[in-house]
Chain A
Amino acid sequence: MATIQLDRVSKAYEGRGVLQDLSLTVEHGECFTLLGPSGCGKTVLLRLIAGFENPDSGSISIGGEVVAAAFGESLPPDRRDLGVVFQDYAVWPHMTVFQNVSYPLKLAGAKEAELRERTQRAVDLVNLSGLEKRLPSELSGGQQQRVALARALAANPSLMLLDEPLSNLDANLREEMRFEIKELQHKLDITIFYVTHDQEVALAISDRIAIMDDKGIISQIGAPLEIYERPANIFVFSFMGLANFMPLRREGATLFVGEGGQVFSGSAPADGDYVLGFRPSDVILSRPGKEAARPGMVAPGFLRGRIKRASFLGAMIDYQVEIDGVFLRTELESHFALDEGLLFAEGEECSVALHNMHWFTREEAAKEGVRI
């Protein structure tokens, strides 16, 4: 069993607090992703769990056993039954693929035959069969990454810690590797603690995601769909993908868009000024006078806007739309736009409707530094 429990963990570097009173539980057998912007302290958290660093206060336990507590003794990394995959692979350059992968087994005192067999199995698992005798310098980046993965898996750890393992790979390989990691986890029934700043990877592989903001505070923990659809705050919303923000101004009971005179007819959760958040794909464009409600649209009527910029990207067309000084981005499938007569020229007028909106107060938006 490898349940990770962090209890009010704090860690500071040179007087600068990175993590404060952080508590978190990762269940056995889940793929748990810690997602956050770079420099937010997520790698520090991984290093604390691995035992490369010790917490200033609070305690960490793995599988029910306390491995680190402030002022107490801590279990060194080599006794925590882990596999770690580093961002820069950390494949030992003086050892062959086989030697790299078999090293943890050798340390565990495996017999020659068993060592060969289990190393081979790990090498096969990551599709590196036939390259056992190569040195890391003779491998591509993706292959080195898989060596690191095989090495971390070789000794059958109950817990794998992965620190941005895909960020140095090219886009195709990244996609392939993330499926492989997910598949391995199911096959081997281990706990994975995965640290990344890439929300696509996080959404694709995780059972649960924790979003950490740039102050080292966890904003939300939940399943990928839940995080994406019901962001706990404006930070989570803006971090999970391209975001549009539309400020709404209240005059009496009426909401107006931006500084202009168009009335926004949707109903706000409460009084006060708001900022509306929505994805580019949740903007519905139509020709003025040809507006038609489409299924799923809960739009509060149509707003009049103007196309400021149109970029043809192949499969998609990217429009920038201005509504009374507020700029929005939207994407239309090229063929859909063609069929529906929605190929706009720059400067043309258009009608805009929205769905899947998120309501944020002005104060919250200002606090998070969202540019409006």
Chain B
Amino acid sequence: MSARGQRQGSGFGAPQIILTLSIAILVIVVAVPVLLILFNAFWADGVFNIRDVARVLTEPDTYQALLNSVIIACGTTAGSTIIGTFFAWLVTRTDLPWKRFMKGMFLVPFMLPSFIGALAWKMLLSPRAGYINRFFMDTLGLEEPIFNIYSYAGIVAVECMYLFPFVFIQVCGALERMDPTLEESARISGAGLFTITSRITIPLVMPSILSGALLIMLYSMAHFGTVAVLGIENGIFNIPTLIYERIHQSGGSFDSIRTGTVLASVLVVSAAFIIWLQNRILGKGRYQIIAGKSFRPMELKLRGLRMPLLVICIAYIAFTIVLPTTVIFLVGGLKTYGLAFTLENLSLDNYKFILFDHKLTRDAIFNSVTLGLSAALITMFAGVMISYVIVKMKTRGKGILEFLGMLPFSVPGSVIALGVILAWSGKFGINLYNTVWIILVAYIARYMAFSLKANSAALEQVHDSLMEAARACGASMWQTLRDIVLPLVRPGMLAAFFLIFLPSLRELTVSIMLYSPTTRTIGVAIYTLNEDGETVISAALAGVALILIITGQSLINRFTQSSSSSKG
């Protein structure tokens, strides 16, 4: 019994260290930047000043940007929701041929960066130089371009193509889990197909539709890439692009920062509202259709519509996924932008150039890979620790952490970038501006939400008694973490790592606000090269990025599939 020397008391033990560290990380990385934005927005000349906020918001440019964000977000949300719900219904509830393949293809836009898509559509449909427009004007002799991509309609259309999977995936899930007896009993009562769909099916999956739609709204409001590529030409700015434009052009003047913080505050508030709304909808609707088991859903016979709908699906996939991707690779192979796609005009020279000779692009690839790896590693470990406190520990002060943990979910990228500038430009004695470190800090803040989500889910699976059993066997808290908890949450940690590493390879919104000439990332390089008129080089780099992303994604898919099947 002499071994029972050490005692644990109310003092400062391991749990307190972990809790304090977790709170510190979230405060420094996420809370301080956001607070600084709100502070700068509402605190002018040393006093709380709401009138000045109103003044900034009513300036014609800012007002127009706010309006544009709302217009584009609403258009995108409506379009994506309709497309997403329709395709989800087709691949889960009908006898459409090749459903599995279609489902996989409809998820592809998830991994394609939308600003690369926007670049592709610019190459296809810009009013004068776009290949499709030129084809119609040169070959068919039309006076006007058939579609101008530099417009609200163009921006909304491109955003829809890349965002509809948010609704698609949610509705697919809901339809697959829906108890088919609900529909069958309606059918037995004599209801027709239209009645069943409109009265039973749609209302039951409505929570999922709405929740997906709100996600799209949130994303589109704060979306930078597509609007930056397609809107600036015609003077269409939304909130993030205006923040970027102001700060970029003035080199970070006080006035531009102030406008930026006010606009960013609008984003933070609307994001918080949207997340709150989504939680309410999900909270209310969650258990209505999910019976826990997966059912074999009733399949609707499409009969005469089967082939036409199949053609529509294939045409949609060809037009929105295959065509833009191909164009990127083809343009990347051209000697000069605008040449026809003939064999003598195409070569691999641009790809060789950007991979081996061009310092700017080589640096960008190196920066993105190292930034992505470091951000993914750091965020993965920090996420495990914070999730552990939130999910498993019974310590006082946990409530603060739960609130702080929710914060990263509701802070858009451009807001994080601006907040990071405010926090790390020497105000608190540390100046990281113009270095690669400021981008790293911003990535950690931006991707913390992914890590918390993946790790919390994994930790929920580790029952408390597994840890208590270890303690009873004589393991200290650290030994329990090392021997029991970490091995069991390793799949969640790996998921978090890839959930961060892959998106960070194509990141644009945050990096564009923070880059310096030596710290370009892949996204920044693609964007700036395109702005400078180096279209073919930019396309080649975009092609390389696509290959990296698709390879990475297929590796993960293979890995997660094999690990989940070995478990079963």
Contacts and interface: CB of A to CB of B under 8 A. Distances in A.
B289 to A, nearest CB: 29
Given A63-B1, A79-B4, A103-B483, A108 B469 contact: no
A87 B464 CA distance: 12
Interface string A78-108: 1111111011101111100000000110011
Interface stretch (B7-15, B118-126, B187-195): B7-15
A18 interface: no
Contacts of B466: 90, 92
Contacts of B4: 65, 75, 79-81
A93 B3 CA distance: 30
B473 A151 contact: yes
- From A79, A82, A94, residue with most partner B Cβ within 10 Å: A79
A142 B102 CA distance: 45
Interface stretch (B109-117, B408-416, B474-482): B474-482
Interface in B1-47: 1, 3-4, 6-10
B488 interface: yes
A78 B469 CA distance: 10
Interface residues of A, number: 35
A85 to B, nearest CB: 9
Contacts of B470: 92, 103
B140 interface: no
B9 A73 contact: yes
B484 interface: yes
A88 B466 CA distance: 9
A276 interface: no
Nearest to A109: B474
B396 interface: no
Interface string B275-302: 0000000000000000000000000000
A78 B471 contact: yes
B427 interface: no
Contacts of B483: 103
A78 B1 contact: no
A94 B8 contact: no
B452 to A, nearest CB: 23
A262 B452 CA distance: 73
Interface string A48-84: 0011100000000001010000001111111111111
A52 B469 contact: no
A94 B466 CA distance: 11
Contacts of B472: 50, 77-78, 80, 82-84, 152, 161
Nearest to B467: A90
A148 to B, nearest CB: 8
Given A74-B8, A74-B9, A79 B469 contact: no
Contact of A86 (B3, B469, B488): B469
A155 interface: yes
Contacts of A161: 472
Contact of B469 (A75, A84, A155): A84
B487 A107 contact: no
B468 interface: yes
B331 to A, nearest CB: 49
Contact of B6 (A51, A52, A79, A81): A79
A152 B474 CA distance: 10
Contact-size category for B:
20 to 34
A94 B487 contact: yes
B469 A92 contact: yes
Given A88-B463, A88-B465, A90-B466, A77 B471 contact: yes
Nearest to A93: B488
B473 A52 contact: no
A87 B468 CA distance: 12
Given A75-B4, A107-B473, A155-B473, A90 B479 contact: no
Contacts of A79: 3-4, 6-7, 474
Given A73-B7, A79-B4, A92-B484, A107 B475 contact: yes
Given A79-B3, A94-B488, A103-B470, A86 B465 contact: yes
Contacts of B474: 78-79, 104, 107-108, 155
A246 to B, nearest CB: 44
B7 to A, nearest CB: 4
- From B6, B472, B488, residue with most partner A Cβ within 10 Å: B472
Contacts of B473: 78, 83, 103-104, 107, 151-152, 155
B15 to A, nearest CB: 11
A3 B543 CA distance: 73
A78 B467 CA distance: 11
A59 to B, nearest CB: 14
Nearest to B10: A73
Contacts of A152: 472-473
B504 to A, nearest CB: 29
- From B10, B465, B483, B484, residue with most partner A Cβ within 10 Å: B465
Contact of A50 (B8, B468, B475, B477): B468
A286 B468 CA distance: 57
Contacts of A78: 471-476
Contacts of B1: 63, 65, 81
Contacts of B9: 72-74
B7 A151 contact: no
A93 to B, nearest CB: 7
Interface string A134-153: 00000000000000100110
Contact of B7 (A74, A87, A93, A108): A74
A7 B475 CA distance: 27
A52 B7 contact: no
Contacts of A103: 470, 473, 475, 483
A50 B4 CA distance: 14
A52 B483 CA distance: 19
Nearest to B490: A94
A88 B463 CA distance: 9
A109 to B, nearest CB: 10
Contacts of A90: 463, 465-466, 468-469
Contacts of B471: 51-52, 76-78
Interface string B475-507: 111010001100110000000000000000000
B453 to A, nearest CB: 22
A88 to B, nearest CB: 6
Given A107-B473, A151-B473, A155-B473, A73 B468 contact: no
B488 A75 contact: no
A6 B140 CA distance: 95
Contacts of B488: 92-94
Nearest to A50: B472
B564 to A, nearest CB: 14
B566 to A, nearest CB: 10
A122 to B, nearest CB: 12
A20 to B, nearest CB: 22
Interface in B76-129: none
Contacts of A73: 7-10
Nearest to B476: A78
A91 B466 CA distance: 7
A81 B463 CA distance: 23
Given A90-B463, A94-B488, A151 B468 contact: no
Contacts of A88: 463, 465
A103 B466 CA distance: 13
Given A78-B475, A90-B463, A151 B469 contact: yes
Contacts of B477: 76
16 contacts: A73-B10, A74-B9, A75-B4, A75-B8, A76-B471, A77-B471, A78-B472, A78-B473, A78-B474, A81-B1, A84-B468, A86-B468, A90-B463, A90-B466, A107-B474, A152-B472
Interface of A: 50-52, 63, 65, 72-84, 86-88, 90-94, 103-104, 107-108, 148, 151-152, 155, 161
Given A51-B471, A74-B7, A161-B472, 7 more contacts: A76-B477, A79-B3, A82-B472, A88-B465, A90-B465, A93-B488, A151-B473
Q: Please name the 6 residue pairs, one residue from A and one from B, whose CB atoms are nearest each other, closest first.
A: A73-B9, A104-B473, A84-B472, A90-B465, A90-B469, A77-B471
